[in-house]
Structure 1
Amino acid sequence: MTPEIDPATRALRTLLDGFLAAAIEAAHPDTCLPAHLPPPTPGRLIILGAGKAGGSMAAVASRFYREQHGLGDDRIVGLAVARHGYGQDAPGIRMVEAGHPVPDEAGIAATREALALATAAGPDDEVLVLLSGGGSANWIAPAGDLTLIEKQAITRAMLRSGAPIGEINTVRKHLSRIKGGRLAVAARNARSILTLAISDVPFDDPAVIASGPTVPDPSTLADARAICERRGIPLPETAIRLLNDPLNETPKAGDPAFARAE
């Protein structure tokens, strides 16, 4: 039998529900994204989205450029990956649903495709990167010989350890081919790279949102090693090699890859 809710509790619940609905409306891509979308460049617009709002952000952007600027399939290409159940129809954009918070094979395939699109960007093309919370799990490209099963086990161990999102993402960046500024490196031949993000992290640090795929990474291999040691994260040999390899350090401020990234 459901207990009776007193009027004061019911009124408070109604008030809090209203706060939640207002917050969701304010942060929804339909509301906040269009004002920040720039005019198109002469070449292609390559839209790459990731995260729980990745699908809705890509859908809003695709509609905006089609309806406001008359761009068609010859000008708009891209891919968005969102959590399972969060995909949306975005004309010209391939939509993929993938695992969150633990990554899966769908995320790996989508990330390979996103990296290929970024690498293929030419000097007239703009790469528009649309990020939101969940992007770290949705864009999954294990570095070196690290396997998906190993990456999943590390992710689960980090989640169980109680580590804050900043620490989790520091480790993720140094075990990935897309995180920690590496997407910007892939798209370095583009005319420009613009990232728009809906933040889900304290202080809205772009290097933390979705593990900062298009911004310089202030964290280091040493930071990632220290976190794993402090949190007692068991690491396979493939991950240990990556975290000890100086050549696997993430790109830092001053790297030419960020010269045209905003």
Structure 2
Amino acid sequence: MPSAPPSPHTDPRAFLEHLYQAAVRRALPLHGTAPFLPAPPRGRTLVLGAGKAGGAMAQAVEALWPADAPLSGLVVTRYHHVPPRPAGLASRIEVVEASHPVPDAAGLAAAQRILGLTQGLTADDLVLFLISGGGSALLTLPAEGLSLEDKQRINRELLHSGANIGEMNCVRKHLSRIKGGRLAAACAPARVVTLTISDVPGDDPSVIASGPTVPDASTCADALAILRRYGIAVPETIRAGLEQGTLETPKPGDPAFAGHAVHLIATPQQSLEAAAEVARAAGIEAHILSDEMEGESREVGKVQAALARAVARRGQPFARPCVILSGGETTVTVRKQPEGTPRGRGGRAGEFCLGLAQALQGQPGVWALAADTDGIDGVEDNAGAFVAPDTLARAARQGLKVDQHLDRNDAYGYFSALGDLVVTGPTHTNVNDFRALLVL
């Protein structure tokens, strides 16, 4: 049983961390997998998958699948994201590790092996595909004419451009031999059942990890427009393929998807509701703004700061005490720095907290925590950061200026110096951003 939450009045930070843990706990694969597992087929069951929750999802299937039914497969997850194996749980699915958010040779090798395992499947066989956030980078198999180095550069430039997750994954689908429904087509004539943990606003399975097993409604023209919008170059053969439509993905209605099923086993909204339930049990009213928030992280932080100030000062639109919760996937546009300037460190959650702290201006009675539910904010070792009424004052005593750290995209340096990083380690799931503002 989860422990009782710390008092929000005596330990606001511990209380907010408790809400975050409740959100993460709700998204763990073992909690949501059983209702969606099909019966074992007449043939064999092949488990394939990719994502930050891949290791935990594989273990959930191993724990729930009948011991006397054949089970094998291969799943790729992020480095250091394989959970400890429970005592007595037999290993029947191979789990390998690769790089995220920029793909590497290990991810390429895993994708090649996964595609190879689809050969020779029959109509009596079942493919269980386990997908979670991060799968796009981890399951990388570039289109013909595109090298791994090209894919790494394009991925890196997309991450720094401010493009949203839908835009990034549209490009990824059309520059891949495995994404955008192509893996499902390769599994024919076997039946495919996809179990997915959503990390995207709107929970669209075609966007989660670039939808390897679901049809894709986006087009080559869409991908080309996104590349042009953000000024991202591609090799001439790839540009021509996009212009001519030869890199098109399988579309809705394609017979390759007949009889297939997709199930969401965990979503951002479910995790926000779990956190809200814990807050209410502690006597604090909880309000969920949305699980689909997007936009520049710092700007979302400023908007939520305005809301928190209105609650703290006027009791509108919510009465105090309360917790204001939100999820989704914000973005960070990395600013160019003068030559010789050290590059900032940090991710979406930290940048949200910088924007929030700047706009709160030390507002009494407001505390906040923002963290990624996978336990990693960007590429750093923290999940996110914590903001308190005295954040700016403590920073000023150390000579830290929030606007300068925003200019450098250096949330990590700012909150590390204050001792206000939230560090959890990998959580083995991923329903994206978690934000909680406590107003007392």
Does TM, scored on the shorter chain, surpass 0.5? Answer: yes
Instruction: Please give the residue correspondences for 1:56-67 in structure 2 after superposition, counting only pairs within 5 Å.
Output: 56-65=56-65
CA distance in 1, matches of 2:112, 2:33: 26
Q: For residue 241 of structure 2, what is the amino acid of its counterpart?
A: L
Instruction: Please give the residue correspondences for 1:8-19 in structure 2 after superposition, counting only pairs within 5 Å.
Output: 11-19=11-19
Q: Percent identity between the aligned chains? A: 51
Q: For residue 257 of structure 1, what is the amino acid of its counterpart?
A: A
From 66, 72, 76, the equivalent of 1:77 is: 72
Q: For residue 260 of structure 2, what is the amino acid of its counterpart?
A: A
Q: For residue 184 of structure 2, what is the amino acid of its counterpart?
A: A
CA distance in 2, matches of 1:245, 1:188: 27
Which segment is superposed worse, 24-33 or 214-223?
A: 24-33
2:206 corresponds to which residue? 207
1:86 equivalent to 2:81? Answer yes
Shift of 1:70: 2.2
Shift of 1:241: 3.1
Shift of 1:9: 7.7
Q: Is the 8 A contact 1:144 1:242 kept in 2?
A: no
CA distance in 1, matches of 2:202, 2:141: 26
Q: Is the 8 A contact 2:108 2:141 kept in 1?
A: yes
Instruction: Please give the residue correspondences for 1:8-157 in structure 2 after superposition, counting only pairs within 5 Å.
Output: 11-65=11-65, 69-71=66-68, 75-88=70-83, 91-157=91-157
After superposition, what is the alpha-carbon deviation per residue over 1:215-251, rounded to whole angstroms, capped at 9, x for unaligned? 1101000000000111111222243133224232100
Q: What secondary structure sits across from 2:11 in the alignment?
A: helix
Which segment is superposed worse, 81-90 or 246-255?
A: 81-90
CA distance in 2, matches of 1:157, 1:37: 38
Q: For residue 32 of structure 1, what is the amino acid of its counterpart?
A: G
1:160 equivalent to 2:186? Answer no
CA gap 1:142/1:35 in 2 versus in 1, 3 angstroms? same
1:3 corresponds to which residue? none
1:4 corresponds to which residue? none
Shift of 1:212: 0.7
1:184 corresponds to which residue? 184
CA gap 1:63/1:120 in 2 versus in 1, 3 angstroms? farther
CA distance in 1, matches of 2:240, 2:59: 40
CA distance in 1, matches of 2:40, 2:151: 37
CA distance in 2, matches of 1:214, 1:62: 21
Q: Is the 8 A contact 1:118 1:187 kept in 2?
A: yes
Shift of 1:10: 5.9
Q: Is the 8 A contact 2:54 2:131 kept in 1?
A: yes
Q: Is the 8 A contact 2:188 2:256 kept in 1?
A: yes
Q: For residue 243 of structure 1, what is the amino acid of its counterpart?
A: L
Q: Is the 8 A contact 2:8 2:15 kept in 1?
A: no
Q: Is the 8 A contact 2:180 2:250 kept in 1?
A: yes
Q: Is the 8 A contact 1:175 1:242 kept in 2?
A: no
Shift of 1:8: 6.8
1:170 corresponds to which residue? 170
Runs of 4+ in 1 over 3 A off after TM superposition: 7-10
Q: For residue 226 of structure 2, what is the amino acid of its counterpart?
A: I
1:219 equivalent to 2:218? Answer yes
TM-score by length of 2: 0.55
Shift of 1:145: 1.9
CA distance in 1, matches of 2:232, 2:217: 22
Q: Is the 8 A contact 2:103 2:138 kept in 1?
A: yes
Q: What secondary structure sits across from 1:48 in the alignment?
A: strand
CA gap 1:108/1:10 in 2 versus in 1, 3 angstroms? farther
2:299 corresponds to which residue? none
Shift of 1:94: 1.4
Q: Is the 8 A contact 1:52 1:134 kept in 2?
A: yes
CA distance in 2, matches of 1:220, 1:9: 52
- RMSD between aligned alpha carbons? 1.6
Structure 1 residues without counterparts, runs of 5 or longer: 1-6
Shift of 1:188: 1.5
Q: Is the 8 A contact 1:81 1:98 kept in 2?
A: yes
1:261 equivalent to 2:256? Answer no
